[in-house]
A and B are shown apart, each in its own frame.
Chain A
């Protein structure tokens, strides 16, 4: 009798929960109707990038009734956390939009497939900015095509320059350092300067220090990815020079994240920053009258910048129909009027090199970025362990060097050893 009661109770509970669960039944995903190729597109393009991307995609879907691209923007860290498990469970998307720095990881695991067939399906290879295209290359093959690509430039606060009596943006390191020192005004709260010459982000940011190292013929890795350049003479020289400026001359606060560096500029607390085109809207809103200049040249006199590129890659599980559809999509993306519209909305320079300057005249900043597009280098070419190198070794080392400039040499030696073993062990 009692057992029956209990059994009934458990059954009741099961029924209740089952009905609750089916009552909360899923809305399901979209299913492809006859003849339409559905392409799911997971990317990290949230925030201000999104409207430009959404617009392009909806235009594409309208003009190409046989193909339907669905964009699913997810914050970067969740995206990267999701991708491999999803692919592993065969639930991955057809297209992914990821940073070119992270592409090797996925290419090496054959999660994405080579895109050479794109170029015989309507995409003109020669029209794509070569440094952007190279960013998506892994072991000689193109695995990712650029959908957003830009160098970084020097932002400077025109008003602060005027007040300090500086007439033009610096063009060399010595001018740069002198200007930064001049623009650092003591007298703020807690013994910090009232105004900093520069805002330099050293974590979670577009990396500046690699650029400085490249300009001194140093760097993290050689272009073929085989040699570690972290502890070369050039790298040490650049690191020591700038660490001293930050630590001893206080031209910038130490250990800033990218977001914090941006805040200093928009609140009028720092005069210069190396940043990408995404910052222009925010600075304008904050009322900052900024100018743009190429990053001042260092010991080797070359104009160098780092490329921030988002590439489009196609899942290895995509069949030939989907590949063709993806090629059509990318061809549409790189069409001149698409690129013009995308550029003007997002502020990014075009990924193609055949857009006449007159089309982009509405936004003069774009031209400044486009001009330096050819000077960009990738951070860690072809490295599957890039994320590990940046987060576990490079960023902490740089921050430590800034705190102890005299130890730059030994710290870089240590870091070089760590990078070597990371590459050797594959992560």
Chain B
């Protein structure tokens, strides 16, 4: 009897140690990964003079809320926040729709030219984005859509990355489900919308998160397409703190911290839904 309980104790002790090591290593990894973020937050609550004279301080010795106060008058933060939400939000919603439709066709339907189309998608993925910037600007200008929301959103309304990502996911959904529905007489769009999409919830949430985040942080594209300050997005606003020769570090860090919070919230929300989604789909 003693050997059995001893054995049990040893296993549970070992498990505790393993757990502790796991937590410790995760905590260390998180700390290292978050170090620049910690610096950023720390700098945002320090006066400018303190940041540049004592750069190597992580924990602030002089504390101020000035940067957060000044930001509202330094740039039209709320206005730019709204523009960024509209831009990132619209792009996300529209591209989730278009990307999933295309991915559905690639993964679950057959049509002539499918292989070629897929290779084209892959090719589009591989093109360095900088090289298409000016030609797309020229097309948008020709269409008369410079400095408009459609001009800002439509070129981004679909995305090779999203198509590829969802295609991989859709491949993993059993064909029998679609077949059964087809035999029952359901139209293809019905199958797509009512059966496959709900099952793809984790992937859709993830992709939505990525699209939102990518466009939230995009500096160059909105700056090139918009010509007046009303349409400016947050990254554009923040970039104004980097002057020709002088960077206003405190204000910049405060702005960046505030710009990070919505993204963080979206991520946590998506993660929660994620876990819920897995539980409710009862997939397999």
Given A5-B189, A9-B189, A72-B229: A47 and B240 within 8 A (CB)? yes
- Closest chain B CB from A315 CB (angstroms): 13
Residues in chain B near residue A282, CB distance under 8 A: 48-49, 52, 246
| A30-B228, A40-B227, A91-B227 known; A278 vs B157 contact (CB < 8 Å) | no
Q: Chain A residue with minimal CB distance to B47?
A: A285
> With a CB–CB cut-off of 8 A, which chain A residues contact B54?
267
Q: What residue of chain A has the Cβ atom nearest to residue B90's Cβ?
A: A24
B188 cross-chain contacts in A, Cβ below 8 A:
2, 5-6
Contact A48 B149 (CB under 8 A): no
CA distance A17 to B158 in the complex (A): 12
CB-CB under 8 A for A13 and B245, given A21-B150, A82-B223? no
Known: A6-B188, A30-B228. Is A46-B137 also a contact (CB below 8 A)? no
Q: Does A185 contact B (CB under 8 A)?
A: no
Q: Does B224 contact A (CB under 8 A)?
A: yes
Q: Are B239 and A75 within 8 A (Cβ)?
A: yes
Residues of A within 8 A of B138 (CB): 85, 88-89
| B110 CB → nearest A CB, Å | 15
Interface residues of A in 1-56 (CB under 8 A from B): 1-2, 5-6, 8-9, 13, 16-17, 20-22, 24-30, 40, 42, 44-50
Q: Provided the pairs A26-B148, A286-B49 are in contact, do residues A73 and B134 lie with their beta carbons within 8 angstroms?
A: no
Binary flags per residue of B202-231, CB closer than 8 Å to A gives 1, else 0: 000000000000000001100110011111
Instruction: Say whether B223 contacts A286, CB under 8 Å.
Output: no
From B28-36, B93-101, B259-267, the one touching the partner chain is B93-101
User: Are A268 and B247 in contact, with the CB atoms below 8 A?
Assistant: no
Contact (Cβ within 8 A) A29 B53 = no
A contact residues, total (Cβ < 8 Å): 63
Among listed B117-125, B139-147, B269-277, interface-contacting one: B139-147
Q: B154 contacts A72, CB within 8 Å?
A: no
- On whether the beta carbons of B220 and A267 are closer than 8 Å, the reply is no
Q: Which residue of B lies closest to A16 (CB)?
A: B97
A89 B146 Cβ-Cβ under 8 A: yes
Considering only residues 369-407 of chain A, those with a C-beta below 8 Å from chain B are: none
Contacts of A42 in B (CB 8 A): 227
CB-based contact B240/A263 at 8 Å: no
A259 CB within 8 Å of chain B: yes
Does any Cβ of B come within 8 Å of A299's Cβ? no
Tell me if B187 and A2 are in contact (CB < 8 A): yes
Query: Which of A47, A91, A263, A285 touches B241 (beta carbons < 8 Å)?
Result: A47
Interface string of B232-243 (1 = CB under 8 A from A): 000010011111
**Counting CB contacts under 8 A, is B172 at the interface?**
no
Q: Which residue of A lies closest to B245 (CB)?
A: A278
Partner of B227, one of A5, A20, A29, A73: A29
Q: Closest approach, in angstroms, between the C-beta of B126 and any C-beta of chain A?
A: 22
Least CB distance from A73 to B in Å reads: 6
Interface residues of B in 154-179 (CB under 8 A from A): 154, 157
Pair B97/A13 contact, Cβ less than 8 Å: yes
B128 within 8 A of A: no
The answer to whether residues A285 and B228 also contact, given A17-B97, A50-B243 and a CB cut-off of 8 A, is no
Residues in B with CB closer than 8 Å to A78 are 219-220, 223-224, 239
Known: A26-B147, A29-B147, A78-B223. Contact between A50 and B240, CB under 8 A?
A: yes
- Residues in B whose Cβ lies below 8 Å from that of A278: 243-246
B256, CB-defined interface residue at 8 Å:
no
Q: Which of A136-168 contact B (CB under 8 A)?
A: none
Report the Cα distance A244→B148, complex, angstroms.
55
Residues on B with C-beta less than 8 A from A117 are none
The closest CB in chain B to the CB of A21 belongs to: B150
Is the Cβ of A48 less than 8 Å from the Cβ of B187? no
Q: Are A82 and B55 in contact (CB under 8 A)?
A: no
Contact call A47/B149, Cβ cutoff below 8 A: no
Of A9, A46, A206, the residue contacting B242 (CB under 8 A) is A46
A48, B243: Cβ atoms closer than 8 Å: yes
| Interface status of B190 (Cβ within 8 A of chain A) | yes
Instruction: Check: B37 CB closer than 8 A to any chain A CB.
Output: no
A74 at the interface (CB under 8 A from B): yes
Q: Bound state CA distance, A100 and B245, in angstroms?
A: 15
Chain B, residue nearest A30 (CB): B228
Are B245 and A279 touching (Cβ within 8 A)? yes
Of B47, B147, B231, B244, which is within 8 A of A47 by CB? B244
Q: Which of B94, B146, B224, B248 contacts A20 (CB 8 A)?
A: B94
Interface presence of B197 (CB below 8 A): no
Question: At the interface, yes or no: A130 with Cβ under 8 Å from chain B?
Answer: no
Q: Who on chain B is nearest to A268 by CB?
A: B53
- The reply to whether the CB of A76 lies closer than 8 angstroms to some CB of chain B is yes
Q: Which residues of A contact B94 (CB under 8 A)?
A: 17, 20-21
Considering the chains assembled together, what is the distance between the CA atoms of A2 and B149 in angstroms?
35
The complex places the Cα of A278 from the Cα of B54 at a distance, in Å, of: 20
Once bound together, how far apart are the Cα atoms of A27 and B243, in whole Å? Answer: 28
Question: Which residue of chain B lies nearest to A46 when distances are taken between CB atoms in the complex?
Answer: B240
Q: How far is the CA of A86 from the CA of B49 in the complex (A)?
A: 39
B 47-86 to A, binary, CB cutoff 8 A, 1 in contact else 0: 1110011110000000000000000000000000000001
A24-B149, A88-B138, A286-B52 known; A206 vs B245 contact (CB < 8 Å): yes
A-B pairs, 4 with minimum CB distance:
A47-B243, A285-B49, A89-B141, A5-B187
Given A47-B242, A72-B228, 4 new contacts (CB under 8 A)? A6-B187, A72-B227, A262-B246, A276-B245
Q: Which residues of chain B have a CB within 8 Å of any CB of chain A? A: 47-49, 52-55, 86, 90, 93-94, 97-98, 101, 133-134, 137-138, 141-142, 146-151, 153-154, 157, 187-190, 193, 219-220, 223-224, 227-231, 236, 239-248
Residue contacts A-B, CB under 8 angstroms, 8 given: A5-B188, A20-B94, A21-B154, A26-B147, A26-B151, A27-B231, A285-B49, A287-B53
